[in-house]
A and B are shown apart, each in its own frame.
Chain A
Amino acid sequence: MAETSKASVGTAELGFLLDPTVEQLVLALLSRIDVHFFVEAVLVIVIGYLLFQKRYKPLQGTEGLTEGEIDELCEQWTPDPLVTKEAMESVVKRSERVVTSHQGCRVIINGKESINFASFDFLNMLNEESIKDECEQTIRKYGVGSCGPRGFYGTIDVHLDLERELADFYGAEGGIIYSYDAATASSIIPAFLKRGDLVIRDEAISYSLQAGIDLSRAYVKEFRHNDMADLESILEIVKQADAKNQKPLNRRFIVVEGLYQNTGMICPLQEVVELAKQYKFRVLLDESMALGTLGETGKGSLEHWGIPASDITIRCGSMSNSLASIGGFAVADGPIIAHQRLSSTGYVFSASLPPFNATAAIAALRIIRQDKERISKLRENSTLAHEVLRDMTLNLDKNACDTLWLMGDEISPVKHLHLQQGKGTRQADDETLQKICDVVLDEFNVSLVVADYSPLQKIAPRPSIRITINSAQTREDIEKCAAAIGEAARKVFARAA
């Protein structure tokens, strides 16, 4: 400061600084005022204003409310009951059937024996005495429960055996088992997919897959059931969007089922795999229904379509259908399985599968490998059922108030009978179909179910009677079933009219 002063003002003039008077000071100051001073002063004022102005803030939370007011609000708040009347009325009613004996293709319901066309035991494993014998041995050795998750001494040697067997059966690098079918896909998907990832799924996939996708918080897009053109158009849109905005790669999956439980249709997997390769998507395939039912030797969709295992990233499924045990599984490459063992919630945070259920699954897998007859018999039965059921639906009176139509692939052991017209509401259609099932059970001793869907499922298929075929059913059983449905439908439709 002193230096600049020296430069501009003479030293003598500054003499007054040693003993200044107010006047001198003010004069000296005024003499130095120029445009700069004004600009700086304005800036200082603006900054000060910006710093000290009272910021506008919208009232957040309970700010601005006094304790008394909060008390009052709490007092006034009345919650809905845990289950509201409307919610209770919105669910589809069902009468519960109590089974007192389960023997594969025969079942005793409410004390009466009937032919079973309702459970997913396609290969008649529930009736297999050798499996029960092995299970008994396991129960005697290991007890019932495993008393802990896999990580904490809940891994029992039979679990490892089953995982090896599954991997071997499917020709995969590794296998992992889950203790419940409902927690399998819904744990696997969130283990790999996160927010920002992309899933393209068939609209007919089962709830567990849907729940998994929802939990993962990934973007999701549905394509029309088994409609490859629709799938391709969606993939094309994604590709175009990619070209437009250059973003880092996200994980992408196409999620399909080998054989759809909800429709009985087989997925055109070959095309799905081709599209996935072309558009760089991974494929997650649910084999719950396809295991033991598709392919020459029951090895599922890949065998059916002749696709190499490397084309599918993850295969998962349920062990409670063809294997007639409990639990779920996944097979994939080693690192993918290892990742699930640390990150899949249903695996890490749940007690492991009871050892005897694992034994049952191992035994069932062995039977599938050894007894090729069962699979060919199942195929034969499925085709026959398709034929007789289709004929039955064609022979229904076209003038009655409604008719049935058959859905499902010819060789699929799962078939659905839908109402042609329906009454418009889910509840009413469900009731009509249930009436048919009741008549079939009461008068013809054939047990069938109306496929049940939870209201939590966002996209649920139309109500239908689901017919599941078992390898042990005879030609007479199947013909009887078709005839019974025809007869019952006639009665119910006549009554309704």
Chain B
Amino acid sequence: RKSPKPDGHELELETEHTVPWIAALTTYFSYAILMVFGTLRDAVFNVMCVVDPGRYRSPTPKGFAKLMNDFQDFYTRRLYHRIQDCFNRPISSAPGAWIDVIEREFANAEMSTMRHTGSHVTALNLSSYNYLGFAESDLEMRDEVVSSMRRLGVGNASSRTELGTTDVHHELEARVARFLGKEAAIVFGMGFATNSTVLPTLVGSGGLIISDELNHSSIVTGARSSNARIKVFKHNCAKSLEEILRSSIAEGQPRTKLPWKKILVVVEGLYSMEGEVCDLKNIVQVCKKYKAYVYVDEAHSIGALGATGRGVLEYCGVEPVDVDVMMGTFTKSFGSVGGYIASTKEVIDYIRRMSPGSIYACSMSPGCVTQASLALRMIAGEDGTDKGKKKLDQLRRNSNLFRAGLQRMGCEVLGHTDSPVIPVMLYNPAKIPAFSRECLARKLAVVVVGFPATPLIKSRVRFCLSAAHTEEDLISALKVIDEVAERVMIKYKWTGRPNVAPSAVVQRLSQEYFVDVVGEWDATH
């Protein structure tokens, strides 16, 4: 399927991603083995509880229900704990291009806890959402952050509507609105809470929220907190959305059959587990046709997609007026924390007086506001330099170079060109820790994701690119990944020779650059 886009980029919308049968078979088999052995160990434990109650005792007091769900508890103890060294790895540096990963080891035989060994590994960071590199670059920004923190306090100890609104908050809000081409904006101290506290204010009972099936947990939480009905459409599929919209409007509300008060369609700009760009042009068209409101979560796409970093709207050629509510976060491209909502002045005023995130939550820390504001100023070019533009170009080059490299070596790469998030399929549970540990041993910090964040058999490794990475960093990383991928056997798409990079990739990169860089990589093979 291809979506026509006159001014924006053409997305190659994949038909459903299929799992190779051999991978599916071995993956299910692996999980079955893990389950069987886990159950056996649990059975032994239960026997021991009876035999030697002094040493092994059941954690739940008598007369109380178990605090944790049985299966979840089992999964944690018998599956997760064995590979927990691959997750929650602590670092002792800024999350820049290179990070110091604190070394850990299992502290007990059950592998339930870990302790620090006292040393650390300096590794290339292919995992933080540091798209434009603001985590560690432009150190002069930190002076302003510090002065703002000193003037206005570390926190505010007050909510936005009480005494937590400062001049820098207003400045950032004005800047966000200007950057996005919207009338007004409001900022919150946390991206997750932005979605979870704003969605219930926009749609209530009698309303309908239609959400992409792969939307982020914060959107799910927000939708569930509202009294609205929730329906889900097939991931990134405008056709499925249209079907649901048509039938929903025709049916009306369940039981009463009253017409819906309003319908809000919620999508993300860039799906961070898939690396897929939203098919926004078509989705907006459908929503317009059926008079549904559009809410776009640009957590990952703002400052990462589009020629001037204006996110998925710019990338897909959608006008800001066509999206009713724009949401985004400052955590990723801006090197700060928090979230924003941009919309018409009326909607923003309403959210201010209605959203728990504005009324109860402590307002965004002034230091973080200043960081977001300065980063945004640079991205928008309001600082009078082209540093922001250069960062954006660098990010795009890095992303496409890396994606092409992974594709050429035969890895199964998900997602779209230009996405700074690049997932690669691992499938088998044993490959999750294997890939992660082998990479860390070669000084590469990567993120591996498995169930329950992904479907059971679709475990993957996810690379996040940054403008702070240099070409040398990435080439050496590709070499390492090539070696590791060979060892853990994840070259599912290997055809016997370097796979040809999609022509679209070559076109978008400057020709010589691509040939140079990838040529060098090829030459070593």
Chain A residues within CB distance 8 Å of chain B: 61-62, 65, 69-70, 73-74, 77-83, 87-88, 91-94, 96-103, 107, 109, 116, 118-121, 126, 131-132, 135-136, 139-148, 150-157, 159-160, 179-183, 186, 192, 194, 197, 206-208, 211, 214-215, 248-252, 280, 282, 313, 318-321, 323-326, 334-336, 338-339, 341-343, 345-346, 348-351, 353-354, 356-357, 360, 447, 449, 452-457
The smallest C-beta distance from A169 to any residue of chain B, in angstroms, reads 18
B200 in the interface (beta carbon within 8 A):
yes
The smallest C-beta distance from B349 to any residue of chain A, in angstroms, reads 8
Query: Once the chains bind, are B155 and A144 in contact (CB under 8 Å)?
Result: no
Q: Give Cα A146–Cα B128 distance, bound, in whole angstroms.
A: 8
Chain B residues, CB < 8 A from A457: 356
B483 in the interface (beta carbon within 8 A):
no
Chain B residues, CB < 8 A from A318: 362
Query: Once the chains bind, are A139 and B335 in contact (CB under 8 Å)?
Result: no
Query: Once the chains bind, are A73 and B249 in contact (CB under 8 Å)?
Result: yes
B68 in the interface (beta carbon within 8 A):
yes
The smallest C-beta distance from B219 to any residue of chain A, in angstroms, reads 10
Residue-wise, chain B 47-81 has the 8 Å CB interface mask toward A (1 for contact) of 00000000000010001111111001100100010
Query: Once the chains bind, are A119 and B347 in contact (CB under 8 Å)?
Result: no
Q: Give Cα A83–Cα B324 distance, bound, in whole angstroms.
A: 11
Q: Assess A456 versus B356: contact at CB under 8 Å? Given A79-B293, A143-B94, A145-B334.
A: yes
Chain A residues, CB < 8 A from B331: 145-148, 351
Q: Residue of B at shortest CB range from A101?
A: B151
Chain B residues, CB < 8 A from A132: 149-150, 154
A-B contact pairs, 28 of them (CB 8 A): A62-B250, A70-B249, A82-B325, A109-B163, A126-B156, A139-B146, A141-B93, A143-B136, A145-B337, A145-B371, A146-B95, A147-B95, A147-B130, A151-B447, A153-B89, A153-B91, A155-B90, A157-B92, A160-B90, A180-B190, A192-B67, A197-B65, A207-B359, A324-B155, A343-B72, A349-B216, A350-B191, A452-B360
Q: Assess A183 versus B217: contact at CB under 8 Å? Given A79-B293, A153-B99, A153-B128.
A: no
B234 in the interface (beta carbon within 8 A):
no
Q: How many residues of B contact A (CB 8 A)?
A: 121
Q: Assess A147 versus B129: contact at CB under 8 Å? Given A77-B260, A126-B153, A342-B80.
A: yes
Residue-wise, chain B 264-300 has the 8 Å CB interface mask toward A (1 for contact) of 0000000000000000000000000111110000000
Chain A residues, CB < 8 A from B245: 74
B110 in the interface (beta carbon within 8 A):
no
Q: Residue of A at shortest CB range from B190?
A: A180
The smallest C-beta distance from A178 to any residue of chain B, in angstroms, reads 9
Q: Assess A148 versus B162: contact at CB under 8 Å? Given A74-B250, A456-B200, A456-B201.
A: no
Chain A residues, CB < 8 A from B102: 157
Q: Give Cα A193–Cα B71 distance, bound, in whole angstroms.
A: 15
Query: Once the chains bind, are A79 and B335 in contact (CB under 8 Å)?
Result: no
Q: Residue of A at shortest CB range from B208?
A: A79
B355 in the interface (beta carbon within 8 A):
yes
Chain B residues within CB distance 8 Å of chain A: 59, 63-69, 72-73, 76, 80, 87-96, 99, 101-102, 112-113, 125, 127-130, 134-136, 142, 145-146, 149-159, 161-167, 170, 189-193, 196-197, 200-202, 216-218, 221, 224-225, 245-247, 249-251, 259-263, 289-293, 324-325, 329-332, 334-337, 343, 346-347, 349-350, 353-357, 359-362, 364-368, 371, 445, 447
Q: B291's contact among A77, A144, A349, by CB below 8 Å, is which?
A: A77
Query: Once the chains bind, are A142 and B155 in contact (CB under 8 Å)?
Result: no
Query: Once the chains bind, are A91 and B354 in contact (CB under 8 Å)?
Result: yes
Q: B95's contact among A153, A321, A455, by CB below 8 Å, is which?
A: A153
Query: Once the chains bind, are A351 and B170 in contact (CB under 8 Å)?
Result: no
Query: Once the chains bind, are B162 and A452 in contact (CB under 8 Å)?
Result: yes
Chain B residues, CB < 8 A from A121: 157
Query: Once the chains bind, are B149 and A79 in contact (CB under 8 Å)?
Result: no
Which 4 pairs across A and B sit closest by C-beta, in order of nearness?
A182-B361, A320-B362, A180-B190, A350-B192
Chain B residues, CB < 8 A from A194: 69
Q: Assess A182 versus B163: contact at CB under 8 Å? Given A157-B102, A354-B368.
A: no
Q: Give Cα A80–Cα B73 distance, bound, in whole angstroms.
A: 45
Q: Assess A454 versus B356: contact at CB under 8 Å? Given A143-B94, A147-B331.
A: yes
Q: Give Cα A135–Cα B360 distance, bound, in whole angstroms.
A: 25
Q: A139-B145, A351-B190 are in contact. List 7 more A-B contacts (CB 8 A).
A: A70-B250, A73-B250, A74-B290, A79-B292, A251-B64, A334-B113, A349-B216
Query: Once the chains bind, are A146 and B154 in contact (CB under 8 Å)?
Result: no
Q: B154's contact among A131, A140, A182, by CB below 8 Å, is which?
A: A131
Chain A residues, CB < 8 A from B335: 143-145, 147
Q: Give Cα A417–Cα B59 distance, bound, in whole angstroms.
A: 46
The smallest C-beta distance from B72 to any residue of chain A, in angstroms, reads 7
Q: Give Cα A194–Cα B155 distance, bound, in whole angstroms.
A: 33
Query: Once the chains bind, are A79 and B250 in contact (CB under 8 Å)?
Result: no
Query: Once the chains bind, are B221 and A79 in contact (CB under 8 Å)?
Result: no
Query: Once the chains bind, are B192 and A61 in contact (CB under 8 Å)?
Result: no
Count of A-B contacts with CB under 8 A?
361
Q: Give Cα A107–Cα B259 distance, bound, in whole angstroms.
A: 50
Q: Residue of B at shortest CB range from A94?
A: B161
Chain B residues, CB < 8 A from A131: 154
Q: Residue of A at shortest CB range from B293?
A: A82
Query: Once the chains bind, are A100 and B167 in contact (CB under 8 Å)?
Result: yes
Chain B residues, CB < 8 A from A356: 149, 154, 367
Q: Give Cα A154–Cα B88 distance, bound, in whole angstroms.
A: 8
Query: Once the chains bind, are B95 and A154 in contact (CB under 8 Å)?
Result: yes
Q: A211's contact among B66, B155, B225, B290, by CB below 8 Å, is which?
A: B225
Chain A residues, CB < 8 A from B260: 77, 79
Max chain A C-beta neighbours (<10 A), residue from B142, B163, B346: B163
Query: Once the chains bind, are B367 and A82 in contact (CB under 8 Å)?
Result: no
Q: B360's contact among A116, A208, A343, by CB below 8 Å, is which?
A: A208
Chain A residues, CB < 8 A from B201: 456
Chain A residues, CB < 8 A from B189: 180, 182, 326
Q: Give Cα A78–Cα B87 distance, bound, in whole angstroms.
A: 48
Query: Once the chains bind, are B91 and A157 in contact (CB under 8 Å)?
Result: yes
Max chain A C-beta neighbours (<10 A), residue from B95, B332, B366: B95
Q: Assess A140 versus B225: contact at CB under 8 Å? Given A156-B90, A357-B154.
A: no
Q: Residue of B at shortest CB range from A348?
A: B217
Q: Give Cα A152–Cα B460 distance, bound, in whole angstroms.
A: 14
Q: Give Cα A494–Cα B330 distance, bound, in whole angstroms.
A: 49
Chain B residues, CB < 8 A from A96: 161, 165
Chain A residues, CB < 8 A from B218: 345, 349-350
Chain B residues, CB < 8 A from A146: 95, 331, 337
Query: Once the chains bind, are A180 and B193 in contact (CB under 8 Å)?
Result: yes
Query: Once the chains bind, are B91 and A83 in contact (CB under 8 Å)?
Result: no
Chain A residues, CB < 8 A from B196: 183, 186, 346
Q: Give Cα A140–Cα B139 distance, bound, in whole angstroms.
A: 8
Query: Once the chains bind, are A282 and B64 in contact (CB under 8 Å)?
Result: yes
Q: Residue of A at shortest CB range from B170?
A: A98
The smallest C-beta distance from A421 to any residue of chain B, in angstroms, reads 25
Chain B residues, CB < 8 A from A357: 154-155, 365
Q: A280's contact among B63, B135, B336, by CB below 8 Å, is which?
A: B63
Chain A residues, CB < 8 A from B90: 155-157, 159-160
Chain B residues, CB < 8 A from A197: 65
Q: Give Cα A78–Cα B337 distance, bound, in whole angstroms.
A: 38
Q: A83's contact among B164, B330, B334, B347, by CB below 8 Å, is which?
A: B347
Query: Once the chains bind, are A118 and B158 in contact (CB under 8 Å)?
Result: yes
Q: A320's contact among B157, B170, B221, B337, by CB below 8 Å, is which?
A: B157
Chain B residues, CB < 8 A from A360: 154-155
Q: Residue of A at shortest CB range from B96?
A: A143
The smallest C-beta distance from A113 to any residue of chain B, in angstroms, reads 14
